[in-house]
């Protein structure tokens, strides 16, 4: 009587189990690693219509963030400045540089420059810039060290866990109000941050808000 199944089929169940385990682990690990903003969004660095360097303006020249983003303390969004604001300096500085042709042209015509937005949260998230920067949360917490970037790229994931990490423990992130736009500022030590953070929470009535309706309305 001949074999119906060849001999190697004895090992088939083991192979199926091993394959399924490996495959399952691989797919799980892949989804965990790749299907997240930490992979999909972090590092997004689109080509902008004008090669504006935050590193030059904010770091080398020492300009405050709020010279250009001047409504961030009053508005829920951080405004992109008008071209005419650029011309406050660039009517003299590099006034014939071809890299700034679009700025001069739009300042003249009143048409907008089509900057590419990098940091986006979903449209059902109502993030308010003013309430954060006015109560001790620095730009750097969400945007990273923009002052070191020649071209801006997204540094933080900005997913919900990211928001909640801070909302669960604001004291670890709050800083003195005069250091909000000082992106290089570091607390003296972890303990001093803890103590100051607790004091800031009390003084500025910062709550650890975790209701859905805090951000979703």
Partner 1 sequence: MRYIFLIFALCVVVVVAVAGKRGDLSRRPPIELFPDMDRQPKLRPQAPNDFFPDGRSSRLIIPGTVARGEHFEDTPANTGRLPGGTNLVESIPLEITEAMLNRGQQRFNINCSPCHGSMGDGNGITKRIGAMGVVADLHDPRVVKLTDGELFNTITYGKNLMGAYGPNVPVEDRWAIIAYLRTLQLSRLGNIDEVPAPFRTQFKK
Cα–Cα distances in angstroms (integers) from residue 197 to residues 95, 121, 139, 192, in the given order: 45, 26, 17, 8
> What are the φ/ψ torsions at residue 83 (nearest 5 degrees)?
-65, -30
Task: Round to whole Å and give the CA distance between 166 and 148.
Answer: 23
DSSP annotation string for 99-164: GGHHHHHHHHH-PPP-PPP-----TT----HHHHHTTT--THHHH--GGG-SS----S--SHHHHH
Q: Name which of 135 and 194 has its Cβ closer to partner 1.
A: 135
* Residues of this chain, 151-170, that bind partner 1 according to CB under 8 A: 153
Rg (Cα) of the chain, in Å, rounded? 25
Residue 115 CA to residue 49 CA, distance in Å, equals: 6
Indicate which single residue of 9, 24, 32, 35 sits in contact with partner 1 (rule: CB under 8 A). Answer: 35
Q: Are 40 and 158 in contact (CB under 8 A)?
A: no
CB of 167 to partner 1, least distance (A): 20
Of these, 32, 49, 51, 91, which contacts partner 1 (CB under 8 A)? 91
Binding to partner 1 by CB under 8 A, coded x per residue (else -) over 106-135, reads: ------x-x--x----xxx-----------
Kindly state whether residue 11 participates in binding partner 1, applying the rule CB under 8 A.
Answer: yes
Contact 137, 181 (CB under 8 A): no
Reading the block at residue 93, the tokens are 């500085």
Q: Which of 9, 24, 28, 30 binds partner 1 (CB under 8 A)?
A: 30
By rule CB under 8 A, what count of residues binds partner 1?
A: 52
Of 149 and 198, CB closest to partner 1: 149
Asked whether position 13 contacts partner 1 by CB under 8 A, the answer is no
Among 32, 77, 126, 185, binds partner 1 (CB under 8 A): 77
148 binds partner 1 (CB under 8 A): no
Note whether 24 binds partner 1 by CB under 8 A: no
Asked if 79 is part of the footprint of partner 1 (rule: CB under 8 A), the reply reads: yes
Contact footprint for partner 1 (CB under 8 A): 11, 14-15, 18-19, 22-23, 26, 30, 33-35, 37-47, 61-64, 66-67, 70, 77, 79-82, 84-85, 87-89, 91-94, 112, 114, 117, 122-124, 153, 178
């Amino acid at each position: 009587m001949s074999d119906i199944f060849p001999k190697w089929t004895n090992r088939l169940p083991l192979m199926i189990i091993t394959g399924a385990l490996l495959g399952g682990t691989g797919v799980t690990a892949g989804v965990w690693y790749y299907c997240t903003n930490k992979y999909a969004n972090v590092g997004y660095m689109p080509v902008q219509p004008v090669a504006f360097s935050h590193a030059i303006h904010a770091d080398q020249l020492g300009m405050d963030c709020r010279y250009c983003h001047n409504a961030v303390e009053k508005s829920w969004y951080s405004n992109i400045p008008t071209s005419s604001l650029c011309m406050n300096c660039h009517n003299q500085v590099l006034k014939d540089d071809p890299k700034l042709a679009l700025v001069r042209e739009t300042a003249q015509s009143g048409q907008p420059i089509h900057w590419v937005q990098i940091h986006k949260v979903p449209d059902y998230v109502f993030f308010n810039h003013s309430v954060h920067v006015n109560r001790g949360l620095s730009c750097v917490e969400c945007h990273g060290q923009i002052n070191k970037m020649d071209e801006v790229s997204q540094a933080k994931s900005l997913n919900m866990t990211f928001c909640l990490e801070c909302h669960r423990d604001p004291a670890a992130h709050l800083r003195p109000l005069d250091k909000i736009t000082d992106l290089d500022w570091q607390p003296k030590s972890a303990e001093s941050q803890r103590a100051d953070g607790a004091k800031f929470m009390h003084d500025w009535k910062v709550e650890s808000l975790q209701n859905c309706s805090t951000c979703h309305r």
